[in-house]
Amino acid sequence: MLKRYLAPILLVISVLFSSFTLAEGEQPQLAYFTLEPDVTTNFFTNGKKLGYIQVRIDVMVSNSADLPLVELHQPLIRDAVVELLGKQSEDTIKSLAGREDLRKTLVEQLNNTLLPETGRTIIADLLFTKYLYQ
């Protein structure tokens, strides 16, 4: 009697495990794109002199198939980064909390900038891998 139920149970288990592996295989892989060369721009200081900031940014996309889109629109991304960094105050640039807020704002702004071009949001996150200011 056990043999009679064993084969269907094993069949159901194998089908379940195969569907889980197919679902895992279909999940998109995260990927990174480094904006090169580094982005350098000025920002406002409290005094009469200008400060400057230099950043290296790694853009994280949700799907590795979106990397060619990021590469294609790299000039648009660089322009948005320079524009946003140039509007920041000295306090925002120099504080850790300001840097984190800047990173979140940059992700949102880049997605809004790329949305008309790509038809969807492709940037999941970004990292400042180099962050120098003076």
Q: What is the pLDDT of residues 26-85, one digit of tens each?
A: 566 899 999 999 999 999 888 888 899 999 999 999 999 999 999 999 999 999 999 999
pLDDT surpasses 70 at 87: yes
Percentage of the chain exceeding pLDDT 90? 72
Angle of helix 74-86 relative to helix 96-118, nearest 10 degrees? Answer: 140
State the Cα–Cα distance between residues 32 and 34, nearest whole angstrom: 7
pLDDT attached to residue 25:
54
State the Cα–Cα distance between residues 115 and 55, nearest whole angstrom: 24
pLDDT attached to residue 22:
44
pLDDT surpasses 80 at 8: no
| Average pLDDT value over all residues in the chain | 86
43 vs 8, higher pLDDT: 43
pLDDT surpasses 90 at 126: yes
- Mind listing the domains of the chain with CATH numbers? 31-133 (3.30.479.30)
State the Cα–Cα distance between residues 26 and 15, nearest whole angstrom: 17
pLDDT attached to residue 21:
47
8-state DSSP, 37: S
- Cα torsion through 96, 57, 70, 113, rounded to 10: 40
pTM summary value: 0.76
pLDDT surpasses 90 at 16: no
pLDDT attached to residue 2:
54
